[in-house]
Structure formats: structure tokens, C-alpha cells
Amino acid sequence: MADSKPLRTLDGDPVAVEALLRDVFGIVVDEAILKGTSASEKVCEWKEPEELKQLLDLELQSQGESREQILERCRAVIHYSVKTGHPRFFNQLFSGLDPHALAGRIITESLNTSQYTYEIAPVFVLMEEEVLKKLRALVGWNSGDGVFCPGGSISNMYAMNLARFQRYPDCKQRGLRALPPLALFTSKECHYSITKGAAFLGLGTDSVRVVKADERGRMIPEDLERQIILAEAEGSVPFLVSATSGTTVLGAFDPLDAIADVCQRHGLWFHVDAAWGGSVLLSRTHRHLLDGIQRADSVAWNPHKLLAAGLQCSALLLRDTSNLLKRCHGSQASYLFQQDKFYDVALDTGDKVVQCGRRVDCLKLWLMWKAQGGQGLERRIDQAFALTRYLVEEIKKREGFELVMEVAPVLKERMVKKGTMMIGYQPHGTRANFFRMVVANPILAQADIDFLLGELELLGQDL
């Protein structure tokens, strides 16, 4: 290994590479991280699409550009992007910018590897196993399996595919035509990925039976049982129930224990979509909301949401210890999963998934957890609940906030164009458009909640 060699991607100039990256990093720290999380800066710099296209000069040319031009482009990209770590960004179920998680993500990018074999991802194969073990322990399992997926929607699909494979292993080879018509059950408040998944997996959206929810958005177990019996009477074979811990719009937690009872009686796979609410398991005070989750067969949990680990960090957890993941998804590609390797090939986890290359999603969560400790993460969850309670109390005190009427789209347009904050809105059942407040960002304080309420009043004072 004698002949040392410079990095030649920038005209053979490693000094230039280092200088470029240091400059970019300086821009990132100043513009995206410090300004991007400061309440005195705008959440977004709204531009109409046509104007933004002009400002960004997006077209790709055949000539390359100078270092100065590239740095200017980096600044522009950050300037016109929405600051999702900003304390007034309430628009999505993710929010906040944890510095340790970000450190883990930058290291992940610089190492640029794929999670499929111990050979090329030794650290991350072991780390993923450890992180999944920790998440399973919080669910209540001391054994099991799991994998990080590219988002909760795909985790939910995995659960469906595993459930049907477990019941009908033939399905992998012979397909759904060899099976009776299948039915799965979820509440009307479930995430839309359940129906998307049913279509993608060839089950069809008709296979999704919609169970009633109560006024708070929780699945009604008695209606679940009625639906199961009805589906059977209609000639379908029920195979899976997907409960939700933390619904998308109302934040409801389905009654898992009662649902587990129903699943047990009917022999159905019990999946819990805890993409949003799973992180509540870290709070000794609030984890009772998920009582019964330990009876699930599979759990989808996205630490990129309430824990601010960064997109994407989506775990699918399984109670299974029979290597179901690998039996269901494996194809033993001989160029990647050679069986004559010089180490234990059980560490080559790539054949558990339907992807081939798979990003490393464990490091950001692991590093944040090491830095914060379980206790630090627990405090975040408890703080989010405390601030939510504060918000509710304050709303009760203010006139005009009870009234849900058609002002949300107007207020949204005004807040985005002003750039002061972002909140999502939607209709629900017979209710008109209303704002969905997401309290997730770890840097949120009461002052931010006060600002939010005042700003809403200000934006809507003429309505």
C-alpha cells in the first residue's frame, strides 16, 4: 500500500475538495442549522413556482460551474427551502433538527454504504441489530426480528406481505390467484398507506375492510369483530388487522388490548401502525396509550417523526423468531449472499428485504440515543405532551378558536406567504377544514405556542 494518491475528483486537488466541503459545511451551519432553527427567522420564503424556477436556474448544462457558483447554489437551495426544524413548523408529523442525529446522518452520507452484508457494512449490520433490539424491548419483546424500511408505508406493506405469506407460503411462488380472497381490517382513521399497500401488493383496495371509529378516532373493537364475521360470510378469508397508535389527523390511539383479543379469537395477524405514536413507548407516564402492543405480531415505528431522528428512520419490528422475513423475501442471490464466505452469513441481512441496496438508517438514531440517553428522549416525549396540554388550555381561554369554519385555507395561504409559521389543515368527517397541530419539535417552548395562537388571531382578524 505504498503509492499514496490524492483525491482527483476536483482536478487532482485534495486541498480543493477539503476547502469546498468546509465552505459548504459553513453555509449549512449558518443558514440551515442556526438560522433554520431560530424563531426570529422565517419558516419559509414563499415564491410562486415559476418565479422560483427562475431564481434557482435549475437547468442542467453540459459545462460545469465554478466553485463560487456552486457555493451560491448551495445558499439558494437552503434559502428557498422550508425550515422543518424551525420552532413554528407544525406542518408535518416530523419537525426539529437534533444535532446528534444530524451528525450521524452526515457520517452516514460520507461512508456511503449499503446495509446488506457484514462484509461492506460491519458496523451498521451490528448496530441495526442493537437498535432494533432496543425498540423491540420497548414494545415488550425480548426476542424477535426487524428491519429499517424506507418509510412507514413500506413497513406497513411488509406486515401485509408477511401475514399472507405466513398463512399461505405458496403465495410467494404461485401468487394471489392460488389463494382464496383475502380481507384485512383497519379503522377509517388509518393512514392511507394501508389501501395503497393493498393495491400495490395485488390484494386490491376492496380487500381493506373499514372498521368504525369512535368520536375520538379510536377503532371500535366490537365493529371490528362484526366486520370479520361479515367478511367471512361473504366468502373472504380475514388474515390481518392493522391498528393505529397515533392516527394521522386526530392522533388517536386504538385500544390495542381489545383488538388483540379479537385477533386472537379469529387467528389473525395483529399489526400496529405506530409510525407516529410508537415513540410514546419511551415515556413511562404516557406509554399506557399503547397497552397491548406487546401482543402484536408486527409494529411499524418511525423515530424520524416524534423523536426527530431525521428522514428516514422507519423500523418494522416483528415478534417472529422463525426467520419469517428471510423466508418471505429471500432469493439467495449468489453474487451478494455467497454461502462460502469466511464469516457467519447469518449477518448478511440483505435477503430479509425486498430492496437490494438499502440505506443505513440506524446510525442517526443510535448516536442521538447515546447522546441523550433513554431519559433524555423520554423528557422530549413528556414535554410534547405537556405543551399539547398547554395548547388545549390556552385555546379554551381564547374566543373564536372553538369555531371550526372555512377559514383554514385562507389562514394557511397568509402564514406561508408571510413565512411566520406552517400548520397543516384538512377536513374530517362532517367537520370543515381545521388546523392539525403537531407538537413534536424538541426545541418547542410555551412561547412558541403563545406565538402560534397570537399569530392565528392576527392572520384571521378580518375574517
The x, y and z cell numbers of residue 134, run together, are 432496543
The CB-of-225 to its own copies minimum distance in angstroms stands at: 24
The CB-of-413 to its own copies minimum distance in angstroms stands at: 4
169 binds its own copies (CB under 8 A): no
167 binds its own copies (CB under 8 A): no
118 binds its own copies (CB under 8 A): yes
142 binds its own copies (CB under 8 A): no
Query: Does residue 355 have a cis bond before it (omega within 30 degrees)?
Result: no
Residue span 16-55 as binding mask against its own copies, x where in contact by CB under 8 A, dash where not: -xx-xxx-xx--xx--xxx-xxxxxxx-x-xxxx--xx--
100 binds its own copies (CB under 8 A): yes
The CB-of-262 to its own copies minimum distance in angstroms stands at: 24
How many Cα neighbours within 13 Å face the side chain of 393? Answer: 8
Chosen residue from 210, 258, 371, 404 binding its own copies by CB under 8 A: 371
What does each C-alpha distance from 304 to 103, 301, 308, 311, 451 come to in angstroms? Answer: 15, 9, 5, 5, 25
The CB-of-334 to its own copies minimum distance in angstroms stands at: 5
369 binds its own copies (CB under 8 A): yes
**Closer residue to its own copies, CB minimum distance, 58 or 233:** 58
What does each C-alpha distance from 183 to 131, 178, 180 come to in angstroms? Answer: 33, 15, 10
Cβ atoms 186, 243 nearer than 8 A: yes
Chosen residue from 169, 226, 323, 333 binding its own copies by CB under 8 A: 333
What does each C-alpha distance from 409 to 88, 379, 394, 439 come to in angstroms? Answer: 18, 34, 23, 20
The CB-of-261 to its own copies minimum distance in angstroms stands at: 29
Residue span 214-253 as binding mask against its own copies, x where in contact by CB under 8 A, dash where not: ----------------------------------xx----
The CB-of-319 to its own copies minimum distance in angstroms stands at: 20
User: Which amino acid appears at position 21 of this protein?
Assistant: L
9 binds its own copies (CB under 8 A): yes
CA dihedral for 73, 74, 77, 79, sign (positive or negative): negative
392 binds its own copies (CB under 8 A): no
**Closer residue to its own copies, CB minimum distance, 339 or 461:** 339
Residues 287-306 touching its own copies, rule: CB under 8 A, are: 302, 304
Chosen residue from 123, 237, 453, 458 binding its own copies by CB under 8 A: 123
The CB-of-142 to its own copies minimum distance in angstroms stands at: 14
68 binds its own copies (CB under 8 A): no
Q: Using CB under 8 A, which of the segments 213-221, 223-231, 266-274, 335-343 binds its own copies? A: 335-343
Cβ atoms 45, 76 nearer than 8 A: no
Chosen residue from 210, 237, 345, 347 binding its own copies by CB under 8 A: 347
Residues 385-389: contacts with CB under 8 Å, at least 24 apart: 385/283, 385/285, 385/286, 387/439, 387/444, 387/445, 387/446, 387/449, 388/437, 388/439
Binding residue count for its own copies, defined by CB under 8 A = 178
Residues 401-430 touching its own copies, rule: CB under 8 A, are: 409, 412-413, 416, 420, 422, 424-427
139 binds its own copies (CB under 8 A): no
CA distance 239 to 462: 53
The CB-of-396 to its own copies minimum distance in angstroms stands at: 24
446 binds its own copies (CB under 8 A): no
CA distance 337 to 179: 31
Q: Is 12 helix (H, G, I), strand (E, B) or coil?
A: coil
**Closer residue to its own copies, CB minimum distance, 120 or 258:** 120
Cβ atoms 145, 324 nearer than 8 A: yes
Q: For the chain, how many residues are written?
A: 463
What is the separation of C-alpha 195 from the centre of its chain, rounded to a whole number of angstroms?
17
Rounded to 10 degrees, the C-alpha dihedral 34/37/40/44 comes to 110
